[in-house]
Amino acid sequence: MVHLDMSGCSGITTVPECITELSKLQYLNINGSSEITELPISIGKLGCLKYLCLSGCSGISKLPESFGDLKCMVHLDMSHCSGLTELPVSLGNLTHLQHLNLSGCSSVEALPQILCGLTQLQYLNLSSLARLVRLPDSIDFIATLTNLEHLDLSWNFDLECLPESIGNLKRLHTMYLSHCFMLRSLPESIVNLG
C-alpha cells in the first residue's frame, strides 16, 4: 500500500504499531483524529513516507524520537496539534522537508534551533503559536532557510519585531503578518525581498 487516508476517523484512538510494516507507504493522512494520543514508537520505519498530515490530532502531546528517521518526508502538516508541547530534536533530520505547517500548535513553548537545518523548506506556517515564549528570538533561525518562498507568522500577538536577517530570504514571495498586534516596525532589510 502506498496511500492511506484515515482523515475524519474520529473514533480511532490509536495508530497501530503494525502500520509501520507498510514499507512502501508514501502518503498517510490522519487529519481530524483528535482521539489519537500517540504515534507508533517505530514510525521511523516508514522510510518511504513523503506526506504526513496530523492536522487536528489534538490528543498527541509528543512525537516519537524515531520521527527523525522519516528522511524522505517532504510535506508535514501538524496544524492544530494543540496538545503538542514540544518538537523533537530529531525533527531536524528531515532535511528533504519542503512544507511544514505548525499553525495552531498553541501549546508549543519553543522552536528548536534544529529547524534551521531544514534548508529545503519552501513553505513554513508558524501562525497562532499562542504559548511560544520569546517569539522574536525564536524566529531568528528563519533567515537560514534560504529556499523559503512562503512564511506565515500571522496571529502571533507577542511578535514585536522581525530579525534584520530576514532580508536574506531572497526567494520569499509571500509573508503573512496579519493580527501581529505588537509588531511595531519592519526591518530595513525587507527591501531585499523583492
pLDDT digits (tens, 9 = 90+) for 151-164: 999 998 888 888 88
Query: Is residue 113 in a domain?
Result: yes
Range of the domain at 121: 109-194
Which of 52-56, 135-139, 155-159 is the most confident on average? 52-56
Yes or no: say if 102 and 129 are a contact pair by the CB < 8 Å rule. Answer: yes
pLDDT digits (tens, 9 = 90+) for 12-46: 888 989 999 999 999 999 999 889 999 999 999 99
Query: Is residue 56 in a domain?
Result: no
Tell me, what's the pLDDT at 194?
62
Domain count, the chain: 1
**pTM (2 decimals)?**
0.92
Query: Is residue 185 in a domain?
Result: yes
Query: Is residue 8 in a domain?
Result: no
Q: Is the pLDDT of residue 134 over 70?
A: no
Query: Is residue 118 in a domain?
Result: yes
CATH number at residue 140: 3.80.10.10
Query: Is residue 32 in a domain?
Result: no
Q: Is the pLDDT of residue 133 over 70?
A: no
List of E strands, the chain:
3-5, 27-29, 51-53, 75-77, 99-101, 123-125, 150-152, 174-176
